[in-house]
């Protein structure tokens, strides 16, 4: 199956070379193209000494009639104020998660030539490599694989790793479980927004899901400032992130400061992406985040992106506007145009949904 044309030529991919692998393996010599001093120093990082709590939502409480209303309120506050939360007791089968984690670790442990069998090709967006920013041609301190996972007919199986042999099955199952989890969460978000769950879920039904797996090697020279993922906001609908290990690194920008996420064992990190921000007419916020590599330990994550639209448009949900009698805060735009604009903005380091604000 051909790569969807809407992303062609828009994602900047860079091949992982032997030189990158050797820089990653001991970080003794860090090539100039990875050094991002200004970006790393932009904004204060909240330190260990400051007490702060990123929201934690408990799925068991969402499902328990006794606590559900309270937990839904907490969920709504997390989506409005932070755009991020950790989700505990999510109910995704442990065996599915384990197989996905193991397969991801095994893939990244392969020699470069084995990983390069699924290197990104020509103008495609799926496969192995690392992305870079068009604005300054700088590289992230990471290697990644991006794949389209749903709908099943849209999968480009040539780009799915064959090694380890468990990978395809693991991702297939994981993709279904995470989609189901996303839909369950959307029903509680709808309750918080005061609309029928079908209105919100409907925007996600049958839509694309894609996956990124990332490996961030340690960077043993902290004074050489490198970035695991350049600051960005996610463009699609809802993002579900799984920490494969307990290495921290993800930071969320709030009120001009970076808040490090302390991964809770077994939890997902969920965040609001641009389309959901627009669907909720700005009630839920898609928030900037970045990854700073650890100085000692590598970090691996599995990230799932659920896309959404309303009859091909990225637009505030009519049900929501009717309910609050509010004015749309964003102008409507066709999904394909939105995705193109979003990728262009990502490469330029800007935020596309800001350009849709009325
Ligand atoms: O790996 C992470 O912690 C963040 C990944 C991310 O932001 C992304 O894939 O867009």
pLDDT of residue 70: 98
* Ligand 1 atom with least separation from CA of 289: 7
Rounded Cα distance, 188 and 270, in Å: 14
Residues of the chain with confidence (pLDDT) below 70: 1-11, 132-134
Contact 140, 231 (CB under 8 A): no
Rounded Cα distance, 193 and 188, in Å: 9
pLDDT tens digit string along 283-333?
999 999 999 999 999 999 999 999 999 999 999 999 999 887 779 999 999
Spell out where 173-283 has E strands. 209-216, 229-232, 238-243, 250-254, 257-260, 268-272
Q: Classify residue 119 by its DSSP letter.
A: B
- The residue to mutate among 216, 301, 302, having the most atoms of ligand 1 within 8 angstroms of its beta carbon, is 301
pLDDT of residue 348: 78
- Integer angstrom CA distances of residue 339 from 145, 183, 199, 307, 330: 19, 22, 22, 10, 15
- The residue to mutate among 13, 145, 239, 248, having the most atoms of ligand 1 within 8 angstroms of its beta carbon, is 239
Nearest to 95 by CA among 169, 157, 181: 169
Contact 301, 213 (CB under 8 A): yes
* Ligand 1 atom with least separation from CA of 216: 1
Contact 238, 182 (CB under 8 A): yes
In angstroms, what is the span from residue 206 Cα to ligand 1's centroid?
24
- Integer angstrom CA distances of residue 81 from 11, 73, 76, 233: 30, 12, 8, 15
Minimum CA distance residue for ligand 1 atom 3:
250
pLDDT of residue 254: 95
**Does the beta carbon of 213 sit less than 6 angstroms from any atom of ligand 1?**
no
pLDDT of residue 27: 87
Contact 28, 150 (CB under 8 A): no
* Ligand 1 atom with least separation from CA of 234: 10
Minimum CA distance residue for ligand 1 atom 8:
303
**Does the beta carbon of 291 sit less than 6 angstroms from any atom of ligand 1?**
yes
**Does the beta carbon of 303 sit less than 6 angstroms from any atom of ligand 1?**
yes
Longest alpha-carbon distance in the chain: 59
pLDDT of residue 14: 83
């Amino acid at each position: 199956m051909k790569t969807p044309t809407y992303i062609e030529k828009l994602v900047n991919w860079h091949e992982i070379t032997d030189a990158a692998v050797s820089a990653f393996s001991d970080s003794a010599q860090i090539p100039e193209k990875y050094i991002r001093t200004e970006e790393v120093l932009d904004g204060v990082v909240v330190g260990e000494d400051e007490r702060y709590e990123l929201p934690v939502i408990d799925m068991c409480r969402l499902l328990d009639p006794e606590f559900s209303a309270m937990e839904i309120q907490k969920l709504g506050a997390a989506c409005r104020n932070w755009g991020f939360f950790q989700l505990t007791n999510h109910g995704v089968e442990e065996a599915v998660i384990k197989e996905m984690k193991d397969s991801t670790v095994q893939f990244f442990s392969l020699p470069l030539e084995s990983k390069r069998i699924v290197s990104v090709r020509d103008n495609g967006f799926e496969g192995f490599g690392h992305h870079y920013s068009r604005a300054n041609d700088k590289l992230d301190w990471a290697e990644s694989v991006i794949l389209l996972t749903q709908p099943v007919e849209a999968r480009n199986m040539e780009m799915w790793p064959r090694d380890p042999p468990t990978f395809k099955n693991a991702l297939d199952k994981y993709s279904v479980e995470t989609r189901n989890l996303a839909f369950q969460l959307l029903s509680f978000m709808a309750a918080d927004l005061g609309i029928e769950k079908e209105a919100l879920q409907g925007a996600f039904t049958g839509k694309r899901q894609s996956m990124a797996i990332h490996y961030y090697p340690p960077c043993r020279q902290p004074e050489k400032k490198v970035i695991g993922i350049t600051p960005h906001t996610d463009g699609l609908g809802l993002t579900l992130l799984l920490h494969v290990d307990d290495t921290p690194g993800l930071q969320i920008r709030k009120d001009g400061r970076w808040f490090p996420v302390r991964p809770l064992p077994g939890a997902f990190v969920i965040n609001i992406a641009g389309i959901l921000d627009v669907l909720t007419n700005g009630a839920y916020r898609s928030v900037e985040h970045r990854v700073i590599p650890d100085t000692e330990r590598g970090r691996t994550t599995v990230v799932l992106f659920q896309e959404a639209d309303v009859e091909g448009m990225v637009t505030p949900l009519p049900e929501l506007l009717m309910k609050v009698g509010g004015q749309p805060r964003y102008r409507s735009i066709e999904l394909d145009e939105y995705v193109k604009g979003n990728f262009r903005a990502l490469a330029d380091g800007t935020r596309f949904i800001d350009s849709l604000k009325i």
